[in-house]
Amino acid sequence: MTKTPTSKPRANPSGRSRGKTVYVKSARGRKSSSTRWLQRQLNDPYVAEAKRLGYRSRAAFKLIWLDDKYHLLKNAKRIVDLGSAPGGWTQIIVERAPKGAEIVAIDILEMDEVEGANFMQMDFMADDAEKKLFSMLSGKVDLVVSDMANSATGHKQTDHLKTMAMCETAFDFAKKTLAPGGAFVAKVLRGGTEQDLLADMKKHFKKVHHAKPDSSRARSTELYIVGLGFIPQKGDEIEQHK
């Protein structure tokens, strides 16, 4: 069982003083892309700060930034975390949500338990995933978050399309399970097709925002799309929630 960290993150880890840059020598059998990734990790202040605070990933700071900006967790009593492994976002949700909040996290990968959250290992894109997830919930949800992304293939268009498919599936789930006034957050990749999703979200939320947290790497095409003030539409309901 893993308890959530109690220390508060520094306001801007990237602004702290740093030592000399760490360079990684290429090793036999290691791809150049792997060497670059390792060097980036070793020199990333958010990685170091996550380790200091006991967060499982640097991605925790993305949700911290989003919550500070949009106040997602303050009054959220029932929350679903899609694509939760290794648990960085789940830790922040437990840390910032009201005491006693119902938190459900799922991922296709294994994830060590986070105290205060219920985890189920399953593929959210599977046909029966939605039904299983609904069975874990006691009612309508205040917040659905998704940090899901397709494992990088090296082909940008393929990665973009698969990640957008995950985002669209998460949004479809959110439409069926969010309570009026609820919120939805999901990772998207810039590439054009996200505009269709944005248009659909504007029909279902009072406000829709694009956001790029400070901890999101500058070269990354990732953005987060944030829907606030859910407005149920006819046809969104499903039998499990009638």
Same domain? For 145 and 96 the reply is: yes
* Whether residues 43 and 64 fall in one domain: no
pLDDT value at 164 more than 80: yes
Per-range mean pLDDT, top range of 34-48, 59-73, 150-164: 59-73
Q: State whether 25 and 73 are in the same domain.
A: no
Residues 120 and 33 in one domain: no
Q: CA–CA separation, 41 vs 48, rounded Å?
A: 9
3-state secondary structure 129-198: HHHHHHHCCCCCEEEEEECCCCCCCCCHHHHHHHHHHHHHHHHHHHHHHEEEEEEEEEEEECCCCHHHHH
CATH of residue 207: 3.40.50.150
For residue 12, what pLDDT is reported? Answer: 58
User: For residue 105, what is the enclosing H or E element?
Assistant: strand 102-107
- Clarify whether residues 182 and 207 are in a common domain: yes
Highest mean pLDDT among 12-26, 149-163, 169-183: 169-183
Q: Do 112 and 22 have their domain in common?
A: no
Q: Kindly list the distances between the CA atom of residue 208 and the CA atoms of 14, 80, 184, 198, 199, in Å, as whole numbers in the listed order.
A: 28, 19, 9, 8, 9
Q: In terms of domains, do 35 and 84 share one?
A: no
Residue bearing the bigger pLDDT, 233 or 184: 184
Domain residues for the domain of 149 are: 60-241
> Are residues 36 and 90 both part of a single domain?
no
130 belongs to a structural domain: yes
CB 53 within 8 A of CB 9: yes
pTM value? 0.81
Domains held by the chain: number: 2
For residues 194 and 112, membership in a common domain is answered with yes
First to last CA, the chain: 35
Report yes or no on 3 lying in a domain. Answer: no
Q: Which runs of E-coded beta strand occur in 22-69?
A: none
Catalytic entry in 77, 175, 187, 206: 187
What is the mean pLDDT of the segment spanning 77-82? 98
* Rounded distance between C-alpha atoms, residue 224 and residue 211, angstroms: 5
Least confident among 31-40, 51-60, 147-156, 214-223: 31-40
Verify that 45 and 72 share a domain, yes or no: no
End-of-domain residue from the set 53, 73, 98: 53
- Whether residue 4 lies inside any domain: the answer is no
Cβ-contact 117, 102 below 8 angstroms: no
CA dihedral 205, 209, 214, 216 (to 10 degrees): 80
SS3 content of the chain, % helix, strand, coil (to 5): 35, 20, 45
Q: Does residue 187 have an active-site annotation?
A: yes
Question: Are 33 and 132 members of one domain?
Answer: no
Closest CA to 174 of 100, 209, 225, 118: 225
Q: Are 63 and 145 in contact (CB under 8 A)?
A: yes
Q: Looking at the structure, do residues 21 and 138 belong to the same domain, yes or no?
A: no
**pLDDT digit string (tens) for 181-218?**
999 999 988 776 578 888 999 999 999 999 999 988 77
- Contact present, 42 and 22 (Cβ < 8 Å): yes
